[in-house]
């Protein structure tokens, strides 16, 4: 209704040339402001820094291996081993972008999917809220995400999580909208729902399905309770069964699982049976249950982590949840509950899992923004009716928020991050190291994907003292990269070799922002 009223007001205003031009000008200015803010939040100088995260460098190596023909679409890192931590879908995207740009794989290719995905979430949220609530909520929802600190930062990192969050958001919003539609529109929305889930699963695996399926079930139960529970339990259950059929839930999920299995089976065959063991056995089961070696956190980890990451909106959001659940002052519509359930279901599922990262909660952010935007929109209407606030004051506040956010991102990207770059970048170290040797480099008991990417091929990974001994025994001289902590023990274990430290990046240089390493030339004294 609100969106229809807005369109009617637009039509009426255009009858009056002066008012029409002014209105169109304001709308055009608003669109430009959002585009301007989106650019500076997600894209501005997003490729200026080196690969800081391990996943970014792995993505670059994987995409490069696909493009140079060293792999049959199954990505490999530079030591020649298959990368089986994730399915290759995201790496295919990175390789496709590099091929389209006709350039080598670089930070732009690796990070562009995340920046585009974050922009897509902003657009989806705006359109959804405008259609289902009003223009105020449609403006507030994207504004919340645009000014949310962690959301903007993740849009600048080449990780799977933001791309997965986009397709998760697409599936959840299409699912809700399908319940409000009929005929061909409903069918198209359901195809979009399950198609988006399928892409998410191809990117991330079963976690993508585990996040949305409970949400769909909880929402259908809640919707049935909201509409039918006043009658009796039998009517509620009948309504739920009917809804499952209307949403094509069983057939849709069956199609997703069959197509996903074909895809994963092909990867497993290409990896000679290792993919199921590594990806599902370790990176699904062990991560979910925890084994002490992974980053395990208590169930309440996301309570305080989200408070930090959703700033500056987290105090308002937490306060709104407490007010809604603990008081009877708020009469929420089904749309309000949908946003809240979206966030809470994903929040609870991820809290149960042992292995936790702040990034994993990203698919729940749009649900939080949706819920908060609706509450603030309702509060604005009360303020307008009581003349506590004018519409002009509202739009001025939004403009000030977006301008402040833009200034903050410019300062952060152009003045703060460059100060950290010397401690984190590996490109300059790789140039120095490669000048010393054109032969294969041995990475011993360490992972440094960003360094390996800049070093280029050939590199070799060696794990364990016995394997290192065999590797250096067949060469007159060997070049080894390892942690400084390993150097003293290495010298003690191999007394027949001469050790020459050619490069050292110690803790004082990295300041804890990246792993220190030492580059050593090892020469056999028996052969010299």
429-482 pLDDT, tens digit per residue, is 888 888 877 677 888 888 888 888 888 887 888 888 988 888 888 878 889 999
Give, for 501, the enclosing helix (H) or strand (E): strand 497-505
Residue 528 burial by CB count (10 A; 0-12/13-18/19+): exposed, middle or buried? exposed
**DSSP labels, 373-436:** HHHHHHHHHHHHHTTSS-HHHHHHHHHHHHHHHHHHHHHIIIIIHHHHHHHH--HHHHHHHHHH
* Gap between the Cα atoms of 336 and 301, Å rounded: 25
E runs forming strands in 81-160:
none
Residue 157 φ/ψ, nearest 5 degrees: -115, 135
342-357 average pLDDT score: 90
3-state secondary structure of 72: coil
Question: Could you tell me if 523 and 476 are in contact, meaning their C-beta atoms sit under 8 angstroms apart?
Answer: yes
Most confident of 60-64, 114-118, 320-324, 445-449: 114-118
User: What's the mean pLDDT in 390-396?
Assistant: 82
Amino acid 2: pLDDT = 44
| Edge-to-edge strand ranges of the sheet holding 517-524 | 459-462, 441-444, 477-482, 517-524, 497-505
* Between residues 307 and 436, the one the model is more confident about: 307
Task: Assess whether pLDDT exceeds 70 at residue 15.
Answer: no
How far apart CA 47 and CA 109 sit, in angstroms, is 9
Residue 345 banded pLDDT, cuts 50, 70, 90: very high
Mean pLDDT of the chain: 84
Domains of the chain by residue range: 114-134+148-397, 427-524
Quote the CA–CA distance of 361 and 355 in Å, as a whole number: 12
User: In whole angstroms, what separates CA 10 from the centre of its chain?
Assistant: 37
Chain centroid offset of residue 472 CA: 41
Distance CA 304, CA 310 (A): 10
Decide if 500 contacts 523 (C-beta within 8 A).
Answer: yes
Residue tagged 């890192």 (tokens): 77
Identify the CA nearest to 320 among candidates 483, 144, 56, 460: 144
pLDDT, tens only, 121-167: 999 999 999 999 888 899 999 999 999 999 999 999 998 999 999 99
Percent of the chain with pLDDT over 70: 88
DSSP per-residue string spanning 250-319: HHHHHHHHHHHHHHHHHHHHHTTTHHIIIIIIIIIIIHHH--SSS-B--TTHHHHHHHHHTTTSHHHHHH
CA–CA dist 272, 267 (Å, integer): 9
Question: Lowest-confidence range among 206-215, 281-290, 301-310, 486-495?
Answer: 281-290
Per-residue tokens: 113: 């999917």
Q: What is the pLDDT of residue 293?
A: 53
pTM, two decimal places = 0.89
Helix (H, G, I), strand (E, B) or coil at 181: coil
Residue 504: which H helix or E strand, with range?
strand 497-505
pLDDT of residue 79: 64
pLDDT, residue 26, reads 63
Residue 362: pLDDT band (50, 70, 90) is very high
Element (H or E) spanning 519, and its range? strand 517-524
pLDDT score recorded for residue 287: 66
Contact 77, 83 (CB under 8 A): yes
């Amino acid at each position: 209704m609100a969106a229809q009223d807005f369109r009617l007001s637009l039509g009426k205003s255009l009858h009056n040339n002066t008012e029409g031009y002014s209105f169109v000008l304001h709308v055009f200015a608003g669109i430009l402001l959002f585009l301007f803010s989106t650019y500076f939040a997600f894209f501005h100088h997003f490729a200026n820094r080196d690969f800081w995260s391990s996943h970014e460098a792995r993505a670059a190596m994987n995409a490069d291996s696909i493009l140079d023909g060293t792999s049959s679409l199954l990505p490999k890192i530079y030591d020649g081993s298959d990368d089986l931590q994730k399915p290759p879908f995201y790496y295919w995207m990175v390789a496709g972008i590099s091929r389209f740009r006709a350039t080598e794989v670089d930070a732009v290719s690796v990070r562009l999917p995340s920046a585009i995905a974050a922009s897509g979430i902003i657009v989806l949220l705006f359109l959804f809220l405008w259609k289902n609530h009003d223009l105020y909520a449609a403006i507030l929802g994207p504004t919340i995400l645009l000014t949310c600190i962690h959301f903007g930062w993740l849009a600048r990192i080449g990780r799977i999580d933001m791309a997965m969050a986009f397709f998760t958001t697409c599936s959840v919003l299409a699912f809700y909208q399908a319940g409000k539609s009929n005929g061909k529109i409903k069918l198209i929305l359901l195809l979009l729902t399950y198609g988006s889930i399928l892409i998410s699963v191809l990117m991330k695996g079963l976690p993508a399905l585990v996040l949305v399926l409970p949400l769909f079930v909880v929402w259908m139960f809640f919707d049935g309770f909201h509409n039918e529970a006043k009658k009796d339990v039998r009517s509620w259950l009948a309504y739920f069964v009917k809804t499952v059929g209307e949403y094509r839930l069983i057939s849709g999920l069956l199609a997703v699982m069959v197509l996903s299995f074909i895809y994963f089976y092909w990867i497993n065959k290409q990896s000679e049976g290792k993919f199921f063991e590594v990806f599902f056995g370790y990176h699904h089961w062990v991560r979910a249950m925890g084994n002490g070696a992974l980053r395990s956190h208590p169930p309440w980890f996301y309570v305080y982590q989200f408070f930090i990451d959703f700033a500056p909106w987290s105090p308002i959001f937490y306060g709104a949840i407490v007010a809604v659940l603990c008081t009877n002052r708020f009469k929420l519509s089904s749309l309000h509950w949908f946003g809240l359930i979206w966030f809470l279901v994903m929040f609870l599922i991820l809290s149960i899992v042992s292995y936790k990262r702040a990034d994993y909660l990203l698919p729940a952010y749009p649900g939080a923004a949706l819920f908060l935007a609706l509450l603030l929109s309702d509060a604005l209407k009360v303020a307008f009716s009581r003349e506590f606030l004018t519409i002009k004051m509202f739009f001025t506040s939004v403009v000030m928020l977006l301008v402040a956010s833009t200034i903050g991102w410019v300062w952060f990207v152009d003045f703060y991050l460059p100060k950290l770059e010397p401690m984190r970048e590996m490109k300059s170290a790789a140039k120095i190291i490669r000048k010393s040797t054109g032969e294969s480099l041995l990475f011993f008991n360490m992972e440094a994907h960003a360094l390996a990417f800049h070093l280029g091929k050939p590199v070799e990974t060696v794990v364990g003292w016995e394997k290192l001994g065999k590797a250096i025994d067949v060469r007159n001289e060997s070049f080894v990269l390892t942690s400084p902590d390993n150097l003293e023990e290495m010298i003690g274990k191999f007394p027949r070799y001469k050790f020459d430290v050619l490069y050292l990046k110690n803790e004082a240089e990295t300041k804890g922002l990246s792993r220190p390493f030492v580059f050593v030339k090892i020469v056999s004294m028996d052969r010299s």
